[in-house]
Structure 1
Amino acid sequence: METLRIQARFIVASPQEIHHPGQLVIRGGTIIEVTPKTHLPADVELTHHALLPGLVNCHTHLEFSDLASPLPAGGSFPEWIGAVVGRRRELSRLQTVKQGIEHTQATLARGLEEVFSSGTNVVGDIVSMPWQPSWLPAAPAVLPTPFATPRQLPALVPLVSVLGEELPAELLQLHLGGQRAAHVVAFPELIGLDTERLNATCQWAQQLLQAPAPAGVEQLGVSPHAPYSLTLAPVLEFLNRLPRSVPRAMHVAESLDELEWLAHGSGPFRDAFERLGVPLDAERPQIEHCIDLLSGSDRALLIHGNYLTSHNIDQIASSGGTTTVVYCPRTHLHFGHRPYPLKQLLKAGVPVVLGTDSRASTPDLDMLAELRALREQHPWLSPETALAMVTSTAARALGLERIHGTLAVGKRAAIAVASISETCSKATLLESLLSGPS
């Protein structure tokens, strides 16, 4: 099996380990060496670029990747949810089942291409019934390796869409000896305030978990949607039958409207449920119950957490790192939420990672844009911590730290390539990447 030796101006093996310059050696799609030594001739020389671990987007809904712009958020949160659900129902009404599946397949392919083309290697995707792994796009062509000489690199641009002096985007993905597509960690969504629908989603999720490991899916978890959209007791009964190794993800403390409904049974959610004929005496799980539910898994994602209290944060911290909070900075801005409790979470030792959420609440699925929004809202945050939130910490949150998250021997050669200015130094590299063009 032949090897490929790449020399770059910078190799960001991890947020704490940067080689300037450095070489990365790959064999069969796996990293076999990362070194600051450059005395051996390289097959590829990238004198104006940095290599980074492929980014990890811990939360999105790829099924909305066909939206050209976010849905307006000027009204209440339930009104926005209604617009999302209404759009899904309208598409279903206008299409046959076959057309609906084909539309979803095309949308998933578009979303995966978008995340891949902006430097993302792994995406945590909330999927809704009747999603099937076969709906994901077929594996793209394997990249040719090794590259014979650096001069041949421009000819490969149509295949890898990343290299050369002029990148079509600031941060693009290079899979060496692998597939040109982001890998998916899929979370089938458990949802329904009526028993019939909730049981149906649980049965669908169970079938997916029991099936042979599907191609293109790194891992399968489950996602009890949110405390306002399900009945807790049957969900707990279902989850308690699953091994702790099955990851969980749940939208929690996302809006003030949610908190008002859970605490008092009033507000916009009550109005929405009255219009829909939902029984108003149904159980209302509290935030503490949701945190307990997530702690029943070895890997859990608490999504958003915009309105977590200090008590909630302490409860999450007591999980010992098994529950990670997913922050979506641009979605947070889209809804005009109060300042995010990032400093409190990190001080308590709670792992925090980033997600884009879906195109229903953000303009694109670009994790670099998400990182820059993070730094704009929290300028005190170090670039090392910020980068870890989309690489090493994020891979650990999804249970993939053995193969993703850093550039290290034995891990997959899934690499993001960033163009670097002439004046960039080792000391300023991460800050330059996260600050954006001057």
Structure 2
Amino acid sequence: MQTELLIHANWMLPVDSRDSTLEHHSIAVDRGRIAAVLPRAEAETQIQAAQTVELPGHVLIPGLVNAHTHSPMTLLRGLADDLPLMTWLHEHIWPAEGRWVDTEFVADGTRLAALEMLRGGVTCFNDMYFYPEVTARVAAEAGMRVLAGMIVVDFPTRYAETADEYLHRGLELHDQYREHTLVRPAFAPHSPYAVSDAPLERVRTLADELEVPIHIHLHETRDEIQQSLRDHGQRPLARLDRMGMLGPQLVAIHMTQLEDAEIERLASTGSHVVHCPESNLKLASGFCPVARLLEAGVNVALGTDGAASNNDLDLLAEMRTAALLAKGVAGSASAVPATAALRMATLNGARALGLDDEIGSLEQGKAADIVALDLGSHSHQPLYNVCSQLVYTAASHRVSQVWVHGRQVIRDSHPLTLDEPGVIAAARDWQQRIRPAGESG
């Protein structure tokens, strides 16, 4: 077989139905897709490749899927730490966004986010922010997959004045990128408390027509539940259910406040949950009952949230936190084992975004979104279980190679599609502009 690329590594975690760990296997890549996964001895006799990459001491995994981000908010990283969610939003983040967010802000913030995520093995992200057409363009230029969120809120911003205008601009984005290899649109109504019934019903109708996901913050805090009961007479999930929004198209973010009947309803409708453990911890939002959701059959993916509330976009670190936190919340050391955490960060994320036929596992015919991590350092020795070592000890700086749709975007830990010094310089320039008067750092 003739292929463009052949990768040899010590181990492979394909995230298949058996949670396999493959030793001394190889991946053949051709025209952006995985042509074969086979033992190295067979690959050396059966595959003739234009390029061969040797990765001793490395493990290959599917590209990580960050299922919830606000990528331009990297430029607000650390701006207002250690505050409750609503204080953080209303008194700091939303005023800063009102003053500074424009196309330049979104472009520079997305480049910084893409650099951080690619260097950490994230090849696909699900984004919610203003000017999603800019995020889509920057991600595509970086060679990264993105679900560009067609943002909707009730209040006016620099991006749009009314819910109708948000929807109109979102539909323009959908038309522009509907056939793009790396960019897919998704509706992104911010939250039930920021979007009224009429726009939410319009989103549901359009999402059904266009067959795209609905990405929304939901059941994030106790205050959100109380506000919904006061203003609508029902909990937010019940309100969305009344409007017909639950189903495989719903990607519900955070979900820290859940009752047993709500978990059953999520499972029966095929709705997806995205767990953001580090952001939830930092904002004291609550604990998502991940083990109970998984036991009920709910697909749970993993997200970092924005860098303004995390404060990083490191999905490898998020995997470890998710696995550890789930054990504490469930009171069981066997809750969310390493294999489940890896699946949440890969195939479950792809499934939530409607991309599991394309990405999320290393299987023949899927897109070649591949990440290589070096497990040869002292911190990974001795190595008894590769998946456990990956989840509990690996860090983003161990990512050495990344391919997206067969194109190499990180080589030997260096970005190939982004100007790293230029990206950092732009971020520092924004720091000087945004920094409140009289502050230093």
Q: Same fold (TM over 0.5)?
A: yes
What SS does the corresponding residue of 1:199 show, helix, strand or coil?
helix
Note if 1:187 corresponds to 2:149: yes
Per-residue CA distance 1:232-269 (angstroms, 9 max, x = gap): 1342034324416121111111111111211135xxxx
Among 188, 199, 209, the residue aligned to 2:164: 199
Gaps of 5+ in 2: 328-334, 396-441
Summarize the alignment of residues 22-101 of structure 1 with structure 2, pairs less than 5 Å apart: 22-41=25-44, 43-69=52-78, 71-75=80-84, 77-82=85-90, 83-91=92-100, 100-101=102-103
Corresponding residue pairs, total: 372
Q: Partner of 1:309 in structure 2?
A: 259
What SS does the corresponding residue of 2:100 show, helix, strand or coil?
helix
CA distance in 2, matches of 1:430, 1:70: 35
Q: Partner of 2:113 in structure 1?
A: 111
What SS does the corresponding residue of 2:13 show, helix, strand or coil?
strand
1:39 positional shift: 4.7
Do 1:133 and 1:214's aligned partners in 2 also have CA atoms closer than 8 Å? no
C-alpha change, 1:134 and 1:264, in structure 2 (3 Å) is closer
Runs of 4+ with >4 A deviation: 193-196, 214-217, 282-285, 291-294, 422-427
Do 1:252 and 1:302's aligned partners in 2 also have CA atoms closer than 8 Å? yes
Higher relative helix content: 2
1:292 positional shift: 5.0
CA distance in 1, matches of 2:181, 2:135: 9
Q: Partner of 1:428 in structure 2?
A: 385
2:123 is aligned with what amino acid? Answer: N
1:73 positional shift: 4.0
TM-score calculated relative to the size of structure 2? 0.77
Among 294, 307, 311, the residue aligned to 1:346: 294
C-alpha change, 1:40 and 1:68, in structure 2 (3 Å) is same
Q: Partner of 1:143 in structure 2?
A: none
CA distance in 2, matches of 1:207, 1:297: 25
**Percent of aligned pairs with the same residue?**
25
Do 2:12 and 2:21's aligned partners in 1 also have CA atoms closer than 8 Å? yes
CA distance in 2, matches of 1:409, 1:285: 44
Do 2:204 and 2:245's aligned partners in 1 also have CA atoms closer than 8 Å? no
Among 384, 390, 397, the residue aligned to 2:352: 397
Do 2:347 and 2:361's aligned partners in 1 also have CA atoms closer than 8 Å? yes
Q: Partner of 1:95 in structure 2?
A: none
C-alpha change, 1:401 and 1:294, in structure 2 (3 Å) is farther
1:290 positional shift: 2.0
C-alpha change, 1:291 and 1:122, in structure 2 (3 Å) is farther
CA distance in 2, matches of 1:377, 1:288: 27
Do 2:246 and 2:266's aligned partners in 1 also have CA atoms closer than 8 Å? no
Summarize the alignment of residues 22-421 of structure 1 with structure 2, pairs less than 5 Å apart: 22-41=25-44, 43-69=52-78, 71-75=80-84, 77-82=85-90, 83-91=92-100, 100-128=102-130, 130-133=131-134, 136-137=137-138, 181-192=143-154, 197-213=162-178, 215=180, 217-242=182-207, 243=209, 245-265=211-231, 286-293=236-243, 295=245, 298-319=248-269, 321=270, 323-379=271-327, 380-421=335-376
TM-score calculated relative to the size of structure 1? 0.78
2:285 is aligned with what amino acid? Answer: H
CA distance in 1, matches of 2:296, 2:176: 39
Do 1:252 and 1:290's aligned partners in 2 also have CA atoms closer than 8 Å? no
Alpha carbon RMSD of aligned pairs, Å?
2.7
